[in-house]
C-alpha cells in the first residue's frame, strides 16, 4: 500500500459506486490498477477512498453505469 502520499496531495477525483445499480459483475475490480474497488461479498462494489486515484477505468468498464468519477469533497 502506498502511504507516501500525504493527505493534502490526494487526487482531486475519486470513484463513487452506486450499490443500487451495481450488478456485481466484477469488471471494475478486474481493471482497477490500484486494487481500490472490490465486490463486497458478491453483492456490490465498494471503493477504498484512500487507494482510489480517480483514473476512471472502473467507470469506463462498468456495464451498469454504476460508477461515477467525482471531485472529492
Which residues sit at the interface with ligand SF4, rule CB under 6 A? 15, 17, 22-28, 31-32, 34, 36-37, 39, 45, 47, 52-58, 61-64, 66-67
> How far apart (Å, rounded) are the C-alpha atoms in residues 53 and 1?
13
> What 3-state DSSP class applies to 25?
coil
Q: Which is nearer to ligand SF4, 10 or 64 (CB)?
A: 64
* Beta carbon nearer to ligand SF4, 10 or 34: 34
| Residue 34 CB partners (closer than 8 Å, separation 6+) | 51, 52, 53, 55
Least gap, CB of 17 to ligand SF4 (angstroms): 5
Amino acid at each position: 500500500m502506498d502511504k507516501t502520499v500525504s493527505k493534502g496531495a490526494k487526487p482531486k477525483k475519486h470513484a463513487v459506486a452506486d450499490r443500487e445499480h451495481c450488478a456485481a459483475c466484477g469488471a471494475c475490480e478486474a481493471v482497477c490498477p490500484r486494487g481500490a474497488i472490490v465486490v463486497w461479498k458478491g453483492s456490490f462494489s465498494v471503493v477504498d477512498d484512500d487507494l482510489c486515484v480517480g483514473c476512471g477505468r472502473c467507470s469506463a468498464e462498468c456495464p451498469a453505469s454504476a460508477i461515477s468519477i467525482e471531485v472529492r469533497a
